[in-house]
Structure 1
Amino acid sequence: MRFDEFQDFRQRQLSASPSLLDAAETNVYRALASLRPDPPADPGTVYRCDLARAWLRRYELPEEWSRRAMISRGVRHGLGVLFHHLRAAEARLWLPADVYPVYFELARAAGLAPGSYPTLPEPTLPEPVLPGPPVDDRPEYLLLANPSKPLGRYLSEAECTALIAWLQQSPHRRLLIDSVYDLGAPFDIGTRRLLDTGRAVLLHSVTKGWLWPRTFGVVLLGPADAEPAEAFRADPPTQDQLALAERLLTDHSGVPRLVTDELAARAERLFARLPEEVLGAIPTASRTCPGNYFFPVEIPAETLRRDHGVLAVPITVFGESTWPGSVLTSLADTFGLRPSPRSGPARRGGG
């Protein structure tokens, strides 16, 4: 079931069965609309180089990297530019199969034919490329998200080690790291460890932390990957978008912490409403990841609805997957209030 199909299905189910616990809302902007900062009333001229340095300072990265910090309109825009560069370089591309269907849409629009690898129930790097070096000198890129959704957690130390080993098998290999779900500063230790290899491109934006999608982002190119720079310089955000980004990074620097705290509170309200069997099936790392609102559970969505009165998101909404489970979210309106933890049919110990 694709995303748009599921949205129609969700509304029909909630209308037909009002007692269902809605753990299937996915729109964080609608859920947290009250936290989104307003744009500046009188935007002035803002320079991309200043924003690049401000972004680097916030995330405790060296300011001398500013020449590699490309200003974009968000992760989608950044990936679109990078994927066209990969196509021109005849590069191979590996994408996570079950994270974000838009990855594949952007890659195919750029003329790429990406391979894939699963992330659920845990990331499994593509077997054809792991055992040894590539058979030719073509560039090879692997895209990952850290933290990953709907896995709902950061990369483990062992997973970072495996990625570094993959890089070391060939000088032509690179990582693309989508860090849009990392609401903290500095970035996660795993992300910083991968950046330290000098073989990773980092993508970030104000989409989740400040709730402003497709507005402003940064693509931090690797030290030996300057080729796409001119394409980014030729396709910048508008002055209004740059002014908004400056306002977010300065006047509203604390918003990501407010978002993280609100999401943590909503997650606790979700957990309080879940049957013990369902709560116990959510991995601990997902339950405890700061700012997470996606919770994988190895129970099919149909079983959750039929046996527990919980409406979940089928894994196919996120992409192709053979994993039998589904995903719970904590974004529905009921978790923004303070409902009784024992109200409704889906209560701990119930079924």
Structure 2
Amino acid sequence: MSKTPPKASAILPIIVLAQFACTSLWFAGNAVSRDLVVLYQLGDGTPGHLTSAVQFGFISGTLVFALLGVSDRFPPSRVFMVCALLGATANLLVLLPDQGLTSLLVIRFATGFFLAGIYPVGMKIASDYHEKGLGKALGFLVGALVLGTAFPHLIKSIGQGLSWQIVFICTSTISALGGIFLFLTVPDGPFRKPSVKIDLLVSLEVFKKKDFRRAAFGYFGHMWELYAFWAFVPIVFSLYQDSHPLTTLNVSFLSFIVIGAGAFSCIAGGYISAARGSKFVAQMALTISGLCCLLSPFGYQLPFALFIVFLLIWGASVVADSPQFSTLVAQSAPKENTGTALTIVNCLGFSITIFSIEVVQWLMHYGSPTLALLALAPGPVLGVLATVRKNK
């Protein structure tokens, strides 16, 4: 006799906790990039390149996972745990001595590759437990991703007297524990419809649906902005400090606060979506963050208190649309291919982030640093247009 599956309300906190723990791997390198630059005498462009390496690894992983239909063919909790353990191991390889830029990029690439079995698979597990109210559930889930992304900055800020290695040890430890915990406590959801074969055309077939294309293209516009903004938050604070020499900032802690603000907006957006719909929340968040992009050059001239408020608004709005786009993607895809649909959209979306990160990195070094974030504005603009246009 089969077991009655646990209630979604009991499962969601476990997925959220595991997602937070495992996605802390994402920005571990970014949080200590300055230490790595000094220790190994690397170039000034290293922070952006390290972030791009993780993104490229994630893209490669999601492409492999999507083409093979991994999260639809195998128990997603098992996939999540295996990738959490492998990602934690890859993350720790940074601690090996005598690193160079090439070895660091390879290690961060490997970490990103295994994150492909964590973030989209976590959303897949949530969709297997929520036939209704998925927008609210994913609001909590992406909120956990946001806090996980910001967490290395917090570790760095409270461990000022400790070595940078602590960031990698802490994130790898909690990632491994999070993956094991989820595997032991979360069985297959009641709405899971496993796929029994590899179908390499599924990733293309889902784009034939108008609603799916609309949600996916809106998500792509959102992704042009999101990770580039997160990657350069510490540099934005450094630029502000340079233009206000009498201001002393704890850059790591402030970066945690600004990025972490998105966790609360994701959760709030989830509740609003229950009343107004996921599309409404996504459009409003994209509009606000797009305005922040356009106003970014003026932010450096603001008094510190207003500067923080401005960045908090940006940090909250830049990611609040993410769970709602994922909801729209999941709801518009065939149930037996939900995992593959989420994974391929993640793959394409994260591919876009590499270009935006490198564009901003180039503008920071060869253009005017205070104008660099203007390059992110086309993403929200095109994302909003994608969600409002009528597909033929």
TM-based fold match above 0.5: no
